[in-house]
Amino acid sequence: MNVQAVKTLPDAQTVTSVNHWTDTLFSFRVSRPKSLRFRSGEFVMIGLLKDDGKPLLRAYSIASPSWDEELEFYSIKVPNGPLTSRLQKIEEGDEIILRPKPVGTLVLDALLPGKRLWMICTGTGVAPFASLLRDPETYEAYDQVILAHTCRTKAELAYGAALAKALPDDPLIGELVGDKLHYYPTTTREPSANEGRISDHIRSGEVFEKLGLPQWNAAEDRIMICGSMALNKDIMSLCEAQGLTEGANSNPAEFVVEKAFVD
Ligand code: A2P
């Protein structure tokens, strides 16, 4: 095991489990600092010690909900990536650094009240939504919640797909989820039920038709966006074309956006 222990640091947390979803994607859970309070959808800085003893940290969305006693993260394995090439080797019992200062705009507070909450993401951008989708407040605030996730292949969708499948039967929040949750996966480089980029499915109206939901309108629809810069830009302009405006913690509005961090 090549990962240097970080026990001497005050911000060390213990890895409790690791799940490798594909050759390039993995999730892991760590102990939660007692003092850490966060809102579902926020991110923190996590990392490992470099060989020179200095911390190497990156922003990671917390994928677990705010009520969970552990913290979950979902990560890509970037070939030769300074952090992820080492982070992907962590095992149960190892320690990572976690700075307990959560921030972020993909929070319910940054949106005005609405009827439907759309979560639009690519790749590991699903992580903050994995948090929000397990938070009872999400279902208390909205009549319908839509997770739209675009990946290249079906295998890359597995983390989000497993979550969406499990939620209606979840012993804690399954009843709240009920039939409010819609899952809309699309693949761009492998045939599937929904082929192509989510942005194109929104533009063509295919996603609305298939889900039986109306086109976005500023009175009812709230949109959260998390993916690459290109995805974020595309979806933001689709929001703006429908008269939706960007919100922030200090100024809630109709959509919010955040870059999926490690890429
Ligand atoms: P595509 O295969 O057409 O590039 P990546 O693996 O490169 O991080 O991309 C993740 C997913 O996001 C891929 O399916 C990719 O589609 C898709 N994607 C990339 N750019 C956009 C965009 N501007 N709008 C929607 N989806 C995008």
Domain ranges of the chain: 12-102, 108-257
Residues 6+ apart with CB under 8 A from 185: 148, 149, 150, 151, 154, 157, 160, 161, 192, 193, 194
- Could you tell me which CATH class the domain 108-257 is placed in? alpha beta
Counting ligand 1 atoms within 8 A of each CB, the residue from 197, 226, 229, 234 with the most, and so the one to mutate, is 197
Can you give the pLDDT at residue 262? 66
**Which residue, judged by its Cα, is nearest atom 11 of ligand 1?**
151
CA distance linking residue 172 with residue 251, whole number of Å: 32
Q: Given this chain, do its domains 12-102 and 108-257 carry the same CATH topology?
A: no
For the chain, which residues score pLDDT lower than 70? 1-9, 262-263
Give the integer Cα–Cα distance in Å for 101 and 10.
Answer: 14
The CATH superfamily holding the domain 12-102 is Translation factors (2.40.30.10)
- pTM of the entire predicted model: 0.95
- pLDDT value of residue 1: 47
CB of 123 closer than 6 angstroms to any ligand 1 atom: yes
pLDDT at 3: 54
**Contact 230 CB / ligand 1 (< 6 Å):** yes
Of 140, 22, 32, whose CA–CA distance to 74 is shortest? 22
Identify the pLDDT of residue 161: 98
Structure tokens at 129: 């939504």
Q: What is the pLDDT of residue 263?
A: 58
Residue 139's CB: how many other CB atoms inside 10 A?
Answer: 20
pLDDT at 118: 99
22 lines ligand 1 (CB under 6 A): no
d(CA 100, CA 112): 27
> Which helix H or strand E contains 174, and what residues bound it?
helix 174-177
